[in-house]
């Protein structure tokens, strides 16, 4: 669904519920990333892993 389309009431409820369920997952991921980036060595490993994934894609 594009941002310009009008949602039906049922679709809006489903979208809101999905967003509410995803927020805790996003918060957990954010905490994990912050922990990984807390040291230089782990930050370098993360950057290297991201670079490798980008080269593969």
Distance, CA of 39 to CA of 36 (rounded, Å): 7
pTM of the model: 0.45
Is the pLDDT confidence value at 1 over 60? no
What is the mean predicted confidence (pLDDT) over 37-56? 91
What is the mean predicted confidence (pLDDT) over 3-10? 78
Distance, CA of 57 to CA of 53 (rounded, Å): 6
Phi and psi dihedrals of 17, rounded to 5? Answer: -65, -40
54 to 20, 36, 43, 57: CA distances (angstroms): 30, 19, 17, 5
pLDDT at position 2: 57
Of residues 23 and 3, more confidence is placed in 23
Distance, CA of 42 to CA of 25 (rounded, Å): 22
């Amino acid at each position: 669904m594009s941002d310009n389309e009008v949602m039906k009431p049922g679709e809006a409820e489903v979208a809101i519920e999905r967003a509410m369920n995803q927020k805790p997952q996003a918060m957990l991921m954010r905490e994990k990333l912050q922990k990984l980036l807390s040291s230089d060595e782990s930050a370098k490993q993360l950057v290297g892993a991201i670079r490798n994934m980008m080269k593969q894609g």
